[in-house]
A = this chain, B = another copy of it.
């Protein structure tokens, strides 16, 4: 199933910056970065359970926000993109 992962990690502290890097790194292992804090991940239920468990363990529940959107089977019909290329390098440079 296609799962959209979006997050806001508070980067006011060094700890926050570390969490942000960890969350991004974990998402990269599971899916495609489409925006800075948005990943599209094609996962089976076991993979999704692992990813969820892992991300929930990284974030600070009082400061950070993590959301999952289940796009289902017809996910391609549910997405529309405008502007710069979809491919996104974790280092912040757009892939052309």
Contacts and interface: CB of A to CB of B under 8 A. Distances in A.
Interface of A: 4, 6-8, 10, 34-38, 55-56, 59-72, 77-86, 88
Contacts of A79: 67-70
Contact of A8 (B10, B36, B62, B66): B36
Within the oligomer, what is the number of copies of this chain?
Answer: 2
Contact of A59 (B4, B7, B83): B83
Contact of A35 (B6, B56, B70, B84): B6
A81 B55 CA distance: 12
Contacts of A80: 67-68, 70
Contacts of A85: 65
B84 A67 contact: no
Given A71-B78, A78-B71, A66 B37 contact: no
B67 A38 contact: yes
